[in-house]
Amino acid sequence: MTRPSTYHVKSFGCQMNVYDGERMAELLAAEGMTPAVGADSADLVVLNTCHIREKAAEKVYSDIGRLRREDGSTPMIAVAGCVAQAEGAEIQRRAKEVDIVVGPQAYHRLPELVAKGRAVDTDMPAASKFDALPARRLSGPTAFLTVQEGCDKFCTYCVVPYTRGAEVSRPWNAVLDEAKALVDAGAQEITLLGQNVNAWEGEDEKGRVQGLDGLIRALDRLPGLARIRYTTSHPNDMRQGLIDAHGEIAKLMPFLHLPVQAGSDRILKAMNRSHSVASYLEVIGRVRAARSDIAISGDYIVGFPGESEADFEATLEIVRATGHAQAFSFKYSPRPGTPAATMEDQVAEAVKDERLQRLQALLGEQQFAFNRATIGRTAEVLIERKGKKPGQTIGKSPWLQSVIVEDGPAIGTLATVEIVAAGPNSLTGLLREIRAAA
Ligand code: 5AD
Ligand code: SF4
């Protein structure tokens, strides 16, 4: 195969995969390759995959099939991400057209693998991939920045400790340098990413040990940066310094994604979550005490092995007690190699379906109620993209709601908007004022 000159990267799954996908694109561009219009015309297609649930993991094989072109040819195909890490060379046995398999800790070697033409690299090298990546590019006012990767918590349902490896924090300087580069390139909002982002730890330039709140305070001092977010957090790593930061730092947006997964202590124990319902609600209470308007998001799993009707009702109860602005909910999906996959009392699919529907109805009501409560208020919206109708632009409120602004200002504007209507998934607003750059 001749060396590819155009590429297309398609990412699935979490925001960290989106970040990795952007970094792979930057890497290929630095090699002189150019982005193709889409997968159909690219010489090299990178499928950056997710392994978290079975459906996500199986999707890669149908996607590979769809890359075949009318004349029977295929582009060079690289499978990256968490399925690559979990299945390795097995992918090439199942799908012969796959040329390259590259894991999430090895993708800085993508150009070498492309030069080889056919290769599998799922190493988790000691040296950080980040040191080998080229400078950031940016295509909008918001950016992701991975500060922490991996997980040591070993929830019994979860593949992440296996696909992403142990918890590693990127050094203070590396994070701040990347943040500065992003701001120089036009980023007004940075979302710090990590599988357990609030477990981030490092030493600042004076050798003092800092947690995520220290990093956020350093970002707060960056001229030009208007907004800071972070995701995903674990309840046990929600230290008081971070909670206090929510009350003290105006640039830190009033939004917290704090998965609890279930509302029954018995199930939380079987999940190896190492927190209880009471300790989660206590954290939520302290967060709200620091920042009363904070929007709480979360993740829930229904149908974990052994979950009874009473356990499930306890999940509905914790949702009611928390009051979510939004939340994600999933049917439990047994993942090969994880302890829960071989537990007895797996819950029937029909029961999972029914519970998911009930949970999603409740979460949907809460989200709609949260959205309606913002009607009549003014909110600062960072405009991110064009809307469907001419003149409309769309951005995010501080609480991460999508806001459609009629006669909206240009992408990248921080606009004060009066919220005049609310739907289940978005708000509509009228422009009141434009804020000058931070
Ligand atoms: N089945 C269903 N949902 C899962 N999650 C993680 N592993 C599984 C699984 N095996 C969910 C959790 C996690 C989110 C990213 O995905 O809720 O917080
Ligand atoms: Fe999916 Fe987890 Fe990998 Fe993200 S880290 S892509 S959620 S398996």
pLDDT tens for each residue of 195-233: 999 999 999 999 999 999 999 999 999 999 999 999 999
Residue 335 near ligand 2, beta carbon < 6 Å: no
> For 378-434, which CATH superfamily applies?
Nucleic acid-binding proteins (2.40.50.140)
- Quote the CA–CA distance of 22 and 137 in Å, as a whole number: 8
Which residue CA neighbors atom 14 of ligand 1 most closely?
299
Residue 53 near ligand 1, beta carbon < 6 Å: yes
Question: H or E element: which one contains 242?
Answer: helix 240-248
Confidence class for position 438, pLDDT limits 50, 70, 90? low
* Residue with the larger pLDDT of the pair 430 and 3: 430
Confidence class for position 164, pLDDT limits 50, 70, 90? very high
pTM of the model: 0.96
pLDDT at 1: 57
Instruction: Report domain extents, the chain.
Output: 6-121, 130-369, 378-434
pLDDT at 169: 97
3-state secondary structure of 213: helix
pLDDT at 128: 86
H helices of 9-109, in order, are 15-30, 54-66, 81-87, 90-94
Residue 160 near ligand 2, beta carbon < 6 Å: yes
Closest-approaching ligand to the CA atom of 81: 2
CA distance readout (Å), 36 to 7, 115, 184: 5, 19, 26
pLDDT digits (tens, 9 = 90+) for 114-145: 999 999 999 998 788 999 999 888 878 999 99
pLDDT at 407: 86
On average, the pLDDT of the chain sits at 96
pLDDT digits (tens, 9 = 90+) for 336-383: 999 999 999 999 999 999 999 999 999 999 999 999 999 999 999 999
| Core vs surface per residue 341-351: b (16+ CB within 10 A) or e | beeeebbeeee
CATH number of 6-121: 3.40.50.12160
Which residue CA neighbors atom 7 of ligand 2 most closely?
14
pLDDT at 436: 66
- Out of 156, 299, 326, mutate this one to test ligand 1's pocket (max ligand atoms within 8 Å of CB): namely 299
- Out of 17, 301, 359, mutate this one to test ligand 1's pocket (max ligand atoms within 8 Å of CB): namely 301
Query: How much of the chain, in percent, has pLDDT values that exceed 90?
Result: 95
- The answer as to CATH 2.130.10.30 being correct for domain 130-369 is no
